[in-house]
Chains A and B, each alone.
Chain A
């Protein structure tokens, strides 16, 4: 049961900018950094954004992350066909019942 809510789908034409939202609460996004993952069919997830805004080495600067309050966003500019994948936000959640990691519901990006 995901506690981070994402739109199930997003789409755009090559070259367009696509934004994916991720809605959480004060115990996760509101109080911790956000990570984003891209998952191609049949493969393991790949870390795309960490610490809300940072890109691992090798991730193009077309990908950018941001956060405001209890919501976060991933923007993909200059959309390319290889960006067609599932995208997940995630964050650590600190509640009375402990410290645990929560993933978003996932967004399937389609390049039209």
Chain B
């Protein structure tokens, strides 16, 4: 059973860089899936940040594209998020997720079937 676990600092200073890592266990990041980041400000809805394939191909939310970099480390079976020039508006619970619904035999669809538990990041001095 694939599991995802986010890790990284819970507090980032304004104008600094938010860096998070999502460790994939129970499966390979080189499987035929894309891997995404999403976030949820306190009391608000979900926002997609971007996705990456094990080849390194990426897609980003146009509203965040200038500040976001998502990368993959196949040797460590993990992928990472960097968000630069953060402000209080970037305070949120950050989730990583697998794209695609996978049964024991195959994957299909484009929903996010497995999510990490989420990690709260606060931007404050």
**Interface of B, helix, strand, loop or mixed by DSSP:** strand
Asked whether A51 lies within 8 Å of B108 as measured between CB atoms, the reply is yes
| Residue from A44, A50, A99, A106 in contact with B101 in the complex, judged by beta carbons closer than 8 Å | A50
Nearest A-chain residue to B93, judged by Cβ = A44
Tell me, rounded to whole Å, the shortest Cβ–Cβ distance linking B25 to chain A.
16
Of the 9-residue stretches A18-26, A73-81, A90-98, which lies at the interface with chain B? A90-98
Give the complex CA separation of A32 and B59 in angstroms: 17
Asked whether B109 is an interface residue with its Cβ less than 8 Å from the other chain, the reply is: yes
| Residue from A43, A50, A88, A104 in contact with B109 in the complex, judged by beta carbons closer than 8 Å | A50
Give the complex CA separation of A88 and B50 in angstroms: 18
Nearest B-chain residue to A91, judged by Cβ = B110
Chain B residues lying within 8 Å of A68, measured Cβ to Cβ, are: none
Asked whether A111 is an interface residue with its Cβ less than 8 Å from the other chain, the reply is: no
Give the complex CA separation of A105 and B115 in angstroms: 19
Asked whether B63 is an interface residue with its Cβ less than 8 Å from the other chain, the reply is: yes
Chain B residues lying within 8 Å of A90, measured Cβ to Cβ, are: 46, 48, 111
Chain B residues lying within 8 Å of A44, measured Cβ to Cβ, are: 95, 115-118
For window 29-79 of chain B, which residues contact chain A by CB distance below 8 Å?
A: 36, 38, 45-48, 50-51, 59-63
Nearest A-chain residue to B101, judged by Cβ = A50
- Per the CB 8 Å criterion, the residue count for chain B at the interface is 26
Asked whether B48 lies within 8 Å of A102 as measured between CB atoms, the reply is yes
Nearest A-chain residue to B100, judged by Cβ = A50
Q: Known: A44-B95, A44-B117, A88-B45. Is A100-B62 also a contact (CB below 8 A)?
A: yes
Asked whether B45 lies within 8 Å of A98 as measured between CB atoms, the reply is no
Asked whether A33 lies within 8 Å of B46 as measured between CB atoms, the reply is no
Asked whether B125 is an interface residue with its Cβ less than 8 Å from the other chain, the reply is: no
| Residue from A1, A50, A57 in contact with B110 in the complex, judged by beta carbons closer than 8 Å | A50
Tell me, rounded to whole Å, the shortest Cβ–Cβ distance linking A98 to chain B.
6
Nearest A-chain residue to B118, judged by Cβ = A44
Give the complex CA separation of A106 and B43 in angstroms: 11
| Residue from B46, B59, B95, B115 in contact with A100 in the complex, judged by beta carbons closer than 8 Å | B59
Chain B residues lying within 8 Å of A67, measured Cβ to Cβ, are: none
Nearest A-chain residue to B110, judged by Cβ = A92
A-B contact pairs, 10 of them (CB 8 A): A37-B111, A44-B117, A45-B112, A47-B101, A50-B101, A50-B110, A90-B48, A100-B48, A100-B50, A103-B48
